[in-house]
Structure 1
Amino acid sequence: MVNLTSLMISIRQNSRFVKNLRIHIRNLSVETNGGNNGREEIESSEKLLNLTHRKDVSEIAAEVGKVIRSKPRWEQSLLSDYPSFNFHDPSFFSELLKQLNNVFLSLRFFLWLSSQPEFLPHPVSCNKLFDALLEAKACAPAKSFLHSFDFSPEPASLENYIRCVCEGGIVEEAVKIFDVLKEAGYHPSVETWNFAFQSCLKFGRTDLIWKLYEEMMEAGVQKDVDIETVGYLIQAFCNDNKVSRAYEILRQVLEDGLAPCNDAFNKLISGFCEEKNYHRVSELLHTMIAKNCNPDIFTYQEIINGFCKNGKTLQAFEVFNALKDRGYAPDMVMYTTMIHGLCKMSRLEDARRLWFEMIDKGFRPNEYSYNTLIYGFCKIGNLDEAMKLYKEMLDSGYKETTLSCNTLILGLCLHGRTDEAYDFFREMPCKSIVCDVITYNTLIQGFCREGKVLQSIDLLKELQAKGVQPSTSSYTHLIQKLCQLGNVQEAKEMWNDMHNRGLQPMVCTRDHIISGLCEKGCVVEGMEWLITMLKSNLKPQKKTFCKLIQSLIQIGKLDDSLSIIGSMFRVGYKLEEGILSHLLDKLCENKYHFVESKLEEIINSN
């Protein structure tokens, strides 16, 4: 129970809500502290007044309710229709609320009433309308009403308001109301705190979770914090990619003999899957079983998805089969995820078996499922089976989409059938199918693989002309091919175009340019590119180092070659014996006085 005396003392003067709460709580304290006689007299007067006017008020409320429901512009004539009636009477408004039985019409009437001269909001009317708005889950109107009129909602109403705005996604407003209640000395229930935590998680506002939790601790409700609160904190840490912190909290509550809900475990499992910490994933799974928090379908889904995403398809397959052994029935998403993982490993027999098992379980393959298996057949080069499945997908009622077309184009390009892929690409606009950046990138890569650079460049220009934003992949393969063909200047122009578009080149793109410069005899410029990479904390490929060192040796820049060798050792590479022998021969030919010392240094470093 709230200590009313201390609550009144703690109320601050700088908030309208807090001032109103003070008045409200003073009234409560009058009722509780010997003011009963005065209160009884007031109540008797009100009863007498109600007995005298109830019939008139009820009748007029019923009439006005009919007018409001049936007359579009009742605001223009209501005063003239009832010239002597006091619409400000709170008992009338209470009756009207009942008659209308529609909170939005009631709000419309109240707003009209507030526009009248000498309007003063009556606390009873304000509170009843506010509570009605909360009951209707009308969070936006309730927020506007609260901030527009000077009245004091009861603390319980403000708790309901917190829940209402949280459900509506206005979680910042909920935090403000917590502050109001804190200043008034009123402590919301832990259930209300948890509801706010849950809503902040739902709407991705972990920043507000930490603010609320800090206020919760300051309010001195540590002893009331329950395992549900802990579960939300664990999930918030995981959402902020602080999985280790979340794990620390879990260990603490487990030591106390408690265990959070499955959602918290599932979040942690997902986080450790992202970090590829499979030891922790296994540990958490066993912990759940030991604590009687039986892993649910979502737990297994997180594990399977995490394993598949990180190339651990065999482990995912083991979990998938264990899931069925434990009596769980995989859903459509899990079947498709597992089929996709098996297709990536080219295990089409297993994928095909799961496909038919999925159908036998009553799941009708959707477009994504079809494309997953089509991709699998394309990957192993069985394009005839891929086309057969594609036709089956269309016969099942699914239309061709950008995704399905991209899947087939990729399969054709992977196996040297770029001309067929290009014809398929040209048919897409005729079928009102959008060609996206993935469509163009797949064809650009396919043409580059076959040495058809001009066609690739034309596709890049077409992509840009159509207003499609190119990606890093749009340039990478083209730059590589241009460098291999000796067109380094054109490759560098494409590099500059990437930068001008705000795209971050892949590290290997710089390797291609360095190798191309060396082939063209621009070795010094190639060395400058490599030094720039090192200064940017980028690691060139070993073959790039070797190519540059050999080129420097050939043009007699032995000091520079030694410098590059030193850099090569520092990033963790070893020097090939052939290059080392070539370098020593050159050093001896030039009778360098430091050959012996450099030889010893290179051998020791290598």
Structure 2
Amino acid sequence: MTMSLRRRSTSYFRNLTTETTTKQDPKDQNFTQTLNEICTITRSKPRWENTLISQYPSFNFSNPKFFLSYLKHQNNTFLSLRFLHWLTSHCGFKPDQSSCNALFDALVDAGAVKAAKSLLEYPDFVPKNDSLEGYVRLLGENGMVEEVFDVFVSLKKVGFLPSASSFNVCLLACLKVGRTDLVWKLYELMIESGVGVNIDVETVGCLIKAFCAENKVFNGYELLRQVLEKGLCVDNTVFNALINGFCKQKQYDRVSEILHIMIAMKCNPSIYTYQEIINGLLKRRKNDEAFRVFNDLKDRGYFPDRVMYTTVIKGFCDMGLLAEARKLWFEMIQKGLVPNEYTYNVMIYGYCKVRDFAEARKLYDDMCGRGYAENVVSYSTMISGLYLHGKTDEALSLFHEMSRKGIARDLISYNSLIKGLCQEGELAKATNLLNKLLIQGLEPSVSSFTPLIKCLCKVGDTEGAMRLLKDMHDRHLEPIASTHDYMIIGLSKKGDFAQGMEWLLKMLSWKLKPNMQTFEHLIDCLKRENRLDDILIVLDLMFREGYRLEKSRICSLVTKFSKKNFPFPHLCLEELL
């Protein structure tokens, strides 16, 4: 509980003190003594409910004044609620409005939303309007959005109208938990209640964010234009939501327009806003535009932090533009921003990607020399880079080095090596690594199985590949589409054309599109076995998927069909040509 909440809770009890002092007879010393004793017992004894009545057989526990006095003296909302439940179930006590209101307010102020909710179940208890206002805000702040909506509906029935600010708290809560459906329902209640008649910038901001969350960014943009026309302006988080949404849709002209609107409205874009734009541009390989925005923010007097520099460096490294990445690396250092472990790993990966392993290792050693501990991230970065360029032996050496140094090997390390070994044809070593991965207690991913299935199909061991596919299915892992391509090619290589054709039909029934090479390989295998009827079926399926044969294959097939004097009942010669 925050200090402000504690102070407010104390004020409730102070008010109670004044109220009960005037009501309680000061001459009744027995009452005060018994009250103090009961407060001590309920505070200190664990199972007081079983013995309290027998300890005070002549005391009137159902006296409303007694509970208010108890609430004041106990000064503990949760103990008071427990005591109230006991009074109602064992002593025939029926709490009056003042008792319930006092306890309800204290519970709301203490942030005890579930306890306050339980108090609403008492018959005939209707909290004061101010109390209800605080309660619905508390529900929203605790993410209990469905309860919020139910309470708002109930309040509307009894004619209570929460303020726009309370609605806004709850709208934001719905957004946080991804319930945009409730955002629109709450807004509809606002309009029906008359609260949403006048434009509230905070409400509009919530609606724009809801549009963006539903990928209806242009609707949010239109709403923004309406607000701006009335001379109002939303806050940065709303602009950021629109920028992020348009970046996802690759609407970079709109992104630029929103950025200029922010500047024109003197709603200065934050570093986070620029980072969202740069991230979006880099993810879509708009590196020139990203670098222009990055330079623009520096020209406007912003000071990019280490996170921003690392973001742009990573973007350049991902695209293999290491010269640009190096330039920013040294610029960052010159400005006194020391690269952290993540920044080092980004650059190490960049060097590995362009096959400059000497520089990658040099940078890795520099990172360790600066006190950054060798860990799974840095090792995984080096291992991934090495296997990408066929240096599987060096990657394997680093992998074993991790074990010697007591560094736990993660799934990325295992998957990288499994893929590298499969590319080198080291099937036994790759299978052994998968077994070790399972022994270590790691949960394999699709990337753990796919290279092995491909390799097994390549060497004709389709039974082994099927066993791995079954293992994936048992682990609820969905194979990628190319895995089925490997199976079809592997089966047709073995001469198991019936199962290969069956697998192809299954793949199409699952709405997966086979690769062009899968069709071509199957046709070549069928042609060698003179299975001309099956070739026509495969050709028909191939054409339906939008593929066309190469000229050399067309000539070869026409020759094959002509030699056999094969009629074309399902596929005319003109269509093939």
Q: CA deviation at 1:350?
A: 2.5
User: What amino acid is the match of 2:36?
Assistant: V
Q: 1:504 aligns with which of 459, 478, 485?
A: 478
Q: 1:348 to 1:126 in 2, by over 3 A?
A: same
1:64 correspondence with 2:36: yes
Residues 90 and 124 of structure 1 are in contact (CA less than 8 Å); yes or no, is this contact kept in structure 2?
no
1:119 correspondence with 2:109: no
Structure 2 partner of 1:13: none
User: What amino acid is the match of 1:347?
Assistant: L
Map residues 26-425 of structure 1 onto 2, 5 A cutoff: 50=22, 53=25, 60=32, 64=36, 68=40, 72-73=44-45, 103-104=77-78, 107=81, 110=84, 117-148=91-122, 151-254=125-228, 258-425=232-399
TM-score (norm 1): 0.80
User: What amino acid is the match of 1:454?
Assistant: A
Residues 158 and 177 of structure 1 are in contact (CA less than 8 Å); yes or no, is this contact kept in structure 2?
no
Q: CA deviation at 1:195?
A: 0.9
Structure 1 partner of 2:4: none
Q: CA deviation at 1:454?
A: 0.8
User: What amino acid is the match of 1:460?
Assistant: L
User: What amino acid is the match of 1:188?
Assistant: P
1:436 correspondence with 2:397: no
Q: CA deviation at 1:579?
A: 0.7
Q: Which moved more, 1:243-252 or 1:419-428?
A: 243-252
Q: 1:575 to 1:133 in 2, by over 3 A?
A: same
Deviation digits for residues 102-146 of structure 1, max 9, x if unmatched? 545655665565566242213212212221222233323322333
* Whole-angstrom CA distance in 1 between matches of 2:160 and 2:479: 56
User: What amino acid is the match of 2:517?
Assistant: K
User: What amino acid is the match of 1:200?
Assistant: C
Q: Which runs of 5+ in 1 are unaligned?
A: 1-45
Residues 162 and 177 of structure 1 are in contact (CA less than 8 Å); yes or no, is this contact kept in structure 2?
yes
Residues 61 and 99 of structure 1 are in contact (CA less than 8 Å); yes or no, is this contact kept in structure 2?
no
* Whole-angstrom CA distance in 2 between matches of 1:585 and 1:599: 11
User: What amino acid is the match of 2:44?
Assistant: P
- Helix, strand or coil at the partner of 2:572: helix
Q: CA deviation at 1:420?
A: 3.3
Residues 190 and 224 of structure 1 are in contact (CA less than 8 Å); yes or no, is this contact kept in structure 2?
no
* Whole-angstrom CA distance in 2 between matches of 1:111 and 1:270: 50
Q: CA deviation at 1:566?
A: 3.5
Q: 1:301 to 1:600 in 2, by over 3 A?
A: same
Map residues 439-478 of structure 1 onto 2, 5 A cutoff: 439-478=413-452
Q: 1:380 to 1:142 in 2, by over 3 A?
A: same
User: What amino acid is the match of 2:162?
Assistant: P
User: What amino acid is the match of 1:125?
Assistant: S
* Whole-angstrom CA distance in 2 between matches of 1:402 and 1:529: 40
Structure 2 partner of 1:578: 552
- Helix, strand or coil at the partner of 2:120: helix
* Whole-angstrom CA distance in 2 between matches of 1:268 and 1:121: 51
Q: CA deviation at 1:331?
A: 3.0
Q: 1:388 to 1:590 in 2, by over 3 A?
A: same
User: What amino acid is the match of 2:306?
Assistant: M
Structure 1 partner of 2:561: 587
Q: CA deviation at 1:374?
A: 2.0
* Whole-angstrom CA distance in 2 between matches of 1:505 and 1:499: 8
User: What amino acid is the match of 1:224?
Assistant: N
Residues 61 and 96 of structure 1 are in contact (CA less than 8 Å); yes or no, is this contact kept in structure 2?
no
* Whole-angstrom CA distance in 2 between matches of 1:66 and 1:343: 71
Residues 143 and 173 of structure 2 are in contact (CA less than 8 Å); yes or no, is this contact kept in structure 1?
yes
* Whole-angstrom CA distance in 2 between matches of 1:460 and 1:516: 21
* Whole-angstrom CA distance in 2 between matches of 1:376 and 1:347: 8
Residues 409 and 425 of structure 1 are in contact (CA less than 8 Å); yes or no, is this contact kept in structure 2?
yes
Residues 191 and 197 of structure 2 are in contact (CA less than 8 Å); yes or no, is this contact kept in structure 1?
no
Q: Which runs of 5+ in 2 are unaligned?
A: 1-17
Structure 2 partner of 1:10: none
User: What amino acid is the match of 2:293?
Assistant: V
Structure 2 partner of 1:537: 511
Q: 1:525 to 1:392 in 2, by over 3 A?
A: same
Residues 23 and 65 of structure 2 are in contact (CA less than 8 Å); yes or no, is this contact kept in structure 1?
no
Structure 2 partner of 1:565: 539
1:526 correspondence with 2:476: no
* Whole-angstrom CA distance in 2 between matches of 1:359 and 1:175: 52
Deviation digits for residues 13-43 of structure 1, max 9, x if unmatched? xxxxxxxxxxxxxxxxxxxxxxxxxxxxxxx
Q: 1:513 aligns with which of 479, 487, 493?
A: 487
Structure 2 partner of 1:39: none
Q: Please give the root-mean-square deviation of Cα atoms over the aligned residues, in Å.
A: 3.7
Structure 2 partner of 1:600: 574
Greater length-normalized contact order (CA 8 Å, ≥ 6 residues apart): 1
Residues 443 and 456 of structure 1 are in contact (CA less than 8 Å); yes or no, is this contact kept in structure 2?
yes
User: What amino acid is the match of 2:165?
Assistant: E
* Whole-angstrom CA distance in 2 between matches of 1:269 and 1:588: 61
